[in-house]
Amino acid sequence: MFAALNRKRRFSSFNLRILAHCAQILRRVRTGGLTNLASTIESIKINAISLEKRGNRLMWIKRRQLGSGVTAVFANLFFFLVRARIHLWINLEKWQSWEVACFRLLYGRSLQVFPEGGRTVCVDMVPGKNLREWVIESTFAIQAIRAAGKELRRAHGLWSSKLEDYWSHSDPHLENLLYDSESDQARLIDFELIHDKSVPALKRHADDLLVFLQDLMSCVSAEQWVPYSLALIEAYDDPLVLAEVRRRLIVPRGWSAIWWKLRTDYVDWRVMIERIETLNTALSMKNHEWTRIETANARE
């Protein structure tokens, strides 16, 4: 019996060590990019990103680091443990082909994208600043969030032959959406992660909205939280996906709590609970309003 107990204890402390390690990796992967050059020096990153010339165009060059496969295996193990239902591509060719296919599916000929060698993808510069910057600056935050909601809805309506279902991003946090105020257009970038194919589109789409909301939670004030969240949900405008988001807008427990902690960038637990509650209340009130509008429209 003692042996069994010891085994169990060793197993759980090993598990916790993997989790701590993976959590660290994940934070670093997520917050990477040129803007965080200083912190990337001491961090384990899956990709190196740089702006380089290809022919006469300046392009973003995303290169998988040597040894990134090991990081990806640990990250995937972590995703499995927290039941995130997403994974990183371990096979480099499959990763390159997914990044290229996503850019082409979403933006067609308007954006040049191609694989280069065995571990690199080159993409045209997408105009604009990322949503986190717009939200922090706050002047055009609502417009940027609305554009992001519309873009997610449009992208979710595209058929993916690889998923054999409607497309989803799986990691549309604020830095993976760029908003161009001149054209009032938001665009998605960074197709590093992919949802498990077995997850139905409705759940994957709700997951994408939730990822955005969780990240938003980490960088807005209490006053901004509800109007900014509603701006996304109203622009996205799909009652079925919203119902699925609401089912998951509950105080997380167990593995899901660890996942929420990561996704909200370690926001204080009480703040997280309060924001889940205030958004739920606002959505219930809005629900009455939306139903009234729908009934009035149906009568006309």
Q: Give residues with Cβ within 8 angstroms of 81, minimum separation 6.
A: 15, 18, 19, 255
- By C-beta, is 178 or 231 nearer to ligand ADP? 178
237-296 binders of ligand ADP (CB under 6 A): none
53-72 binders of ligand ADP (CB under 6 A): 60, 62
Between the CA of residue 127 and those of 161, 223, 244, 272, what are the distances in Å?
A: 27, 29, 32, 32
Among 76, 176, 229, 264, binds ligand ADP (CB under 6 A): 176
For the bound state, the minimum distance from the C-beta of residue 274 to ligand ADP, rounded and expressed in Å, comes to 29
Among 68, 71, 160, 176, binds Mg ion (CB under 5 A): 176
Between the CA of residue 105 and those of 41, 166, 171, 261, what are the distances in Å?
A: 34, 11, 17, 32
Interface with ligand ADP, residue 175, by CB under 6 A? yes
Among 20, 34, 251, 285, binds ligand ADP (CB under 6 A): 34
Question: For Mg ion, which stretch binds (CB under 5 A), given 78-86, 129-137, 190-198, 233-241?
Answer: 190-198
Residue 111 phi/psi, 5-degree rounding, is -135, 130
User: For residue 179, what are the β-bridge partners?
Assistant: 129, 186
Residues 134 and 180 sit within 8 Å (Cβ to Cβ): no
For the bound state, the minimum distance from the C-beta of residue 210 to Mg ion, rounded and expressed in Å, comes to 17
Binding flags for ligand ADP, 178-197, as an x/- string (CB under 6 A): x----------xx-x-----
- Interface residues toward ligand ADP, by CB under 6 A: 32-34, 47, 49, 60, 62, 123, 125-126, 130, 175-176, 178, 189-190, 192
